Structure 1
Amino acid sequence: MASFSYEAHDSAGRRQRGQQEAQSARHARQLLRDKGLLPVRVCASNASSQPGSPTVRRQGLSTADLTLLTLQLSTLIQAGLPLEEALHAVEAQAEKRQVGQLVAAIRARVTEGYDLASALGAYPRAFPDLYRATVAAGERSGHLGHVLERLASYTEARQLSRQKIQLALVYPAILLCASLAIVGFLLGYVVPDVVKVFIDSGQPLPLLTDALIAVSTALRDYGGVLIGLFAGLAMLARWGLQHPELKRRCHSAFLRMPVMGRVIKAMEAARFASTLAILGKSAVPLVDALHVSAAVIGNVSIRERMLDVARRVREGETLTRSLERGGDIPPLMLHMIASGERAGELDHMLERAAQQQEKSLAASIALIVSLFEPAMLVIMGGLVLMIVLAILMPILNLNQLVH
């Protein structure tokens, strides 16, 4: 069956737009009449915007696009517009074509009788598990507009937090790349021309100069091979991380690293707590919220332990005790969660714990970055000093021979 776009009037004279699956345009008009609609225009849909087309299903949304879409939909629904009309308005306001196509596909499924969460479930790359679970809870509670507004704020806050971390890492990354490029240029092009004079003189060279010449020769002769080797190792590592068992072992090894492990744990703890808080405020049952919160965790080892936490809570254990046994939540967050459980304000305390953890994480990353910059300068200075000494030592030996 093909998909047809239509415009029609309902019994109240309001204009309706949507998608209709049918064998032909005539069949589509008949189906619309059976629904009590008077078709005005029916035409075949573009294949790229059909609800079930692979192109639309593969589409993703940036965090900024998802936040804007959610805010628009929340505002329109709280203003009293029906869901189908709100989706149509969002589609019309979309500046990007792919966003408009995606919203049109969702609206078509809603028109066919699906609820919004089920319609979003057809496009998991654009709408993650957390988003769909929150929307489903909002539909069940009858407060979809308020839930979407809260979800938009959460998505925007997560994006701002991610941007802060990325901006903090930009300068160290540039510094590292510049240092490698400078050292590579010196060893590959400058050093060989300078030390050629000493080689032609036939005098014995210092060990440091010999080592520098060997490294420089290797870079010039095998530089392409080394780059290809590193690229091959990167591709091999990427392929290996797709294997579940190898990925789990690598993630476990990351957690055991002195600095990286602590940062990863803090990051995942903040993500877990903030996700659980937004789901709890949206009236998602705790066990279901724990499963969704575990699914958004990136580290496989921590994710498995959080799924065990959900299992123990389902069996009757308290959330605080289950998280304490998992060992991935910092003590301060555990105390705050325990206080929330005792006072009946778990969602509020989870949100505060997530905010506190994100502040602590930002401070830790800022400290690491502040230490990384002078360390890179010292290492860079040391490498340049070694190159200068390797060049100066033969000159000093020549001067001693002359005198």
Structure 2
Amino acid sequence: MAAFSYAALDSSGKEKKGVIQADSSRQVRQILRDQGLAPLQVDNASAQSNKSLAKKSSAFLANKGPRLNVAELAMITRQLATLVQSSMPLEESLSAIGRQSENTRVKSIVMAVHSKVMEGHPLAVSMADFPAAFPSLYRATVSAGEHAGHLDLVLNRLADYTENSYQTRQKTKLALLYPVILFVMSIAIVSGLMAFVVPDVVEVFIGQGQELPALTQALIGISDFIVDYGIAVLVLLLMAVTGFQYALQSDRLKLRWHEQLLRLPLIGKFARGSNTARYASTLSILTSSGVPLVDAMKIAAEVIENRFLQQAVSVATQNVREGGSLHTALEQNGYFPPMMIHMIASGEASGQLDSMLERVADNQQRELDNLVATLIGFFEPGMLLFMGVAVMVIVLAILQPIFNLNQLI
């Protein structure tokens, strides 16, 4: 049976949408009529999802098919792991998850995967129809669990991994919320003072013909520039950002830009930390699930966002394929922390690479969390200092002519 999405009218004329499993669209329409519904549209769930995405996707998107966000993927994985671990058959677990889902898109994806499983395909192969919903890391891990006969354990590890990824993203967004608001407010307050308050105040002194101090003259010049060209500068900045993003669609330019990012003092450290932490976590979950090391390195390289670092990791993968050790290949890369290299070397020497990679992943994630907390900790007082200094300069520039006027009187 296949999964079909439908739209129908009930007896009161309200439109209803959902997903039904049946052998054909004709059978779906008959089921709807038996339920007292008037069918309007019936489509294959997979075909409809791909058709919907084709209308929304851009030409440069590599993955095809409907997407699942991190929260949805984490929820589905945890539910599937719980049901499979409770000895419920896989097809029944997928059917139960699909039926209870209130999100039509999620239901369509799960029921389409269920239909493929019912046809005799493995779970990983069934998920391959939705590469944007189930990444290659996810499918490779599920495939390894199926072949090893430990799908329940692998699904639990995937559930932990996806939930941790979701929690990390949420914590980062919440941590950045206050600094970003503070930054925007600082810029808005200073710009408002320069554009509306300063011109009215200094106009009094200009009208009296008083010679203004250098600080006040500089402030007037900046204020006039913001009033006259502020909107033009803002438009140019937006155009520059848009043009830069368009230019980065070129693989060659993106590679050079990512290389330069890694060399910047603070941004480079953050880029290396985030990418190496993600790589270590992915490599850990793949190797512990039974995926061969070379295949695991190849898949894990896909989660690295920095294109230059991804290319360097691909070279390391080739070195391991030719017989080199993992720690030597990553050490030649030059971008992985020495502690991480040392721990991997220890794991290879003791024959406990899987458990050591898990410790490496935890260690890298802690270091990344500490780095993010440190950066945010510096950013907040930095914004307060910027706003305070800016306001102080404006006040001094306004008060200096008043002091001079009092001295003359």
TM-score where L is the length of structure 2: 0.86
Query: Closer, same or farther in 2 for the Cα pair 1:210/1:97, shift >3 Å?
Result: same
Q: Does 1:87 align with 2:100?
A: no
- Measured after TM superposition, the shift of residue 224 of structure 1 is 2.1
Aligned to 2:72, which of 62, 65, 68? 65
Deviations 1:360-388 (A, max 9, x none): 22222222222222222222221111111
Q: Distance in 1 between matches of 2:113 and 2:123?
A: 8
Specify the alignment match of 1:18 in structure 2.
Answer: 21
Query: d(CA) in 2 for partners of 1:109 and 1:101?
Result: 12
Deviation at 1:51, TM superposition (A): 4.1
How far has the Cα of 1:401 moved from its partner?
Answer: 2.5
Q: Aligned ranges for residues 138-153 of structure 1 at < 5 Å?
A: 138-153=145-160
Aligned-partner Cα distance in 2 for 1:386–1:373: 20
Return the offset for 1:311: 0.6
Tell me the amino acid that sits aligned with residue 182 of structure 1.
I
Q: Tell me the residue number matched to 2:9.
A: none
Question: How far apart are residue 44 of structure 1 and its match?
Answer: 9.7
Contact preservation (8 Å) 2:4, 2:44: no
Corresponding residue for residue 51 of structure 2 = 54
Count residues with an aligned counterpart: 376
Q: Matches of residues 39-50 of structure 1 in structure 2 within 5 Å? A: 46-47=42-43, 49-50=45-46
Contact persistence 1:5–1:44 (CA under 8 A)? no
Deviation of 1:169 (Å): 2.1
The offset of 1:101, in angstroms, is 1.6
Query: Please, what is the CA RMSD of the aligned residues?
Result: 2.4
Counterpart residue identity of residue 390, structure 2: L
For 1:316 and 1:325, locate their aligned partners in 2 and report how far apart those are by CA, in whole Å: 15
- 2:59 corresponding residue in structure 1: none
Paired letter, 2:203: K
**Partner Cα distance (2:106, 2:233) in 1:** 42
Asked if structure 1 preserves the Cα contact closer than 8 Å seen for 2:190 and 2:391, the reply is yes
Structure-2 residue corresponding to 1:261:
268
Q: What is residue 213 of structure 2 aligned with on the other side?
A: 206
- 1:66-215 counterparts in 2 under 5 A? 66-215=73-222
Partner of 2:245: 238
- Where structure 2 has 5 or more consecutive residues not aligned to the other structure, the ranges are 6-19, 54-63
- In structure 2, the CA distance between the partners of 1:25 and 1:314, relative to structure 1 (3 Å rule), is same
* Contact preservation (8 Å) 2:216, 2:397: yes
> What secondary structure is seen at the aligned counterpart in 2 of 1:382?
helix
Q: Secondary structure at the match of 1:18?
A: strand
Question: Sequence identity of aligned pairs in percent?
Answer: 44
CA distance in 1, matches of 2:106, 2:166: 19
**DSSP 3-state at the match of 1:46:** strand
Alpha-carbon deviations, 1:37-78, whole Å to 9, x = none? Answer: xxx99x997337344632266432221211110111122222
SS of 1:258's partner is coil
* Structure 2 Cα separation of the partners of residues 176 and 105 of structure 1: 46
Q: Where does the alignment leave 5 or more consecutive residues of structure 1 unmatched?
A: 7-16, 30-39
Which of 282, 293, 305 is 1:286 aligned to? Answer: 293
Deviation at 1:298, TM superposition (A): 0.6
DSSP 3-state at the match of 2:21: strand
For 1:19 and 1:336, the matched residues in 2 are separated by 53
CA contact (8 A) 1:337 1:346 kept: yes
SS of structure 2 residue aligned to 1:47: strand
Structure 1 residue 115: Cα displacement = 2.3
Q: Which amino acid aligns with 2:227?
A: R
Deviation at 1:161, TM superposition (A): 2.4
**1:110-138 CA distance string (max 9 Å, x none):** 33443221222222221112111111111
Distance apart, 1:282 and its partner CA: 0.9
Contact 2:212 2:401 in 1 (8 A): yes
| Code of the aligned partner of 2:320 | V
Tell me the equivalent position of 1:399: 406
Question: Aligned partners of 1:44 and 1:87: how far apart in 2?
Answer: 27
User: Over residues 20-45 of structure 1, what are the superposed CA-to-partner deviations in whole Å (9 max), with x where a residue is unaligned?
Assistant: 4x6x748x99xxxxxxxxxx99x997
Match of 2:60 in 1: none
For 2:94 and 2:359, the matched residues in 1 are separated by 33
Is residue 2:339 matched to residue 1:336?
Answer: no
**Contact kept? 1:241, 1:247, Cα under 8 Å:** yes
Counterpart CA distance in 2 for 1:233 and 1:111 is: 52
Distance 1:157 1:120, change over 3 A: same
The TM-score with structure 1 as length reference comes to 0.87
Q: CA deviation at 1:19?
A: 5.1
Closer/same/farther in 2, CA of residues 84 and 51 from structure 1, 3 Å limit: farther
Counterparts of 1:342 and 1:189 in 2: how far apart (Å)?
69
CA distance in 2, matches of 1:246, 1:210: 43
